[in-house]
Amino acid sequence: MALKQTEKLKENVEEQLERLVKQLEDLEKYREDFEPEEYQETKTETLEQMKEFQSSLAKLAAGDLSLTDYFAAIQLGIQAALSQVFRTPEVILMFAKKQPEQLRLKLAQIQRDLKLGKLSSQAAQTQQVEVLGALKGLGEVLSTEEANILEKTNSASLQQFIKVSTDPESKSKLLALAENSLSLQ
């Protein structure tokens, strides 16, 4: 019975995360359809919903240790979105769900789109760094070429995120800090 409830809770959490990510994705996709202030207001509201969701996850994880790792991964994904480390909703979702295979497919898609001329080299590089950062944050081993791309082009915030997401002690501190900062707001 408890296992069934846990699975249902996980399913609900994933659905909520997917809804918020889709909302961000749609907002970016249809940005030109909005007035600038309407776009900014909607984006702010969505990010606020993500903060509230993150706070709820912290409370849920505190009550059930078997869910702690699961919720921690999702919280890190949300934290990455809020801190603008990951800008692509699809990457946020794949990171939060711990889907390195999907991230590898996304990386291949970016490289294919670059070769076909669908992406500029700057856009491809930005997206590659984001995906490689997510892979590194999940503890995946990068090729020498991938590591070089990440090392020469990533931002300080991405470097900090990778450090935190791969170090269990730092991860706990980040989640506690995020929970405290959300409860103060």
Mean pLDDT, residues 89-115 taken together: 86
Lowest mean pLDDT among 13-17, 42-46, 65-69, 97-101: 65-69
The confidence score (pLDDT) of residue 181 equals: 40
- pLDDT tens digits, 126-185: 888 888 888 888 888 889 988 888 777 765 555 655 565 555 555 455 445 444 444 433
Domain span at residue 155 reads 2-184
pTM assigned to the model: 0.52
Query: Looking up tokens 């996850």, which residue turns up?
Result: 57
**H helix count then E strand count, the chain:** 9, 0
C-alpha closest to that of 50 among 15, 78, 87, 13: 78
Question: Does residue 132 contact residue 107 with C-beta atoms inside 8 Å?
Answer: yes
Q: d(Cα 51, Cα 20) in Å, to the nearest integer?
A: 11
pLDDT tens, 20-49? 888 888 888 888 998 989 988 988 888 888
Domain count, the chain: 1
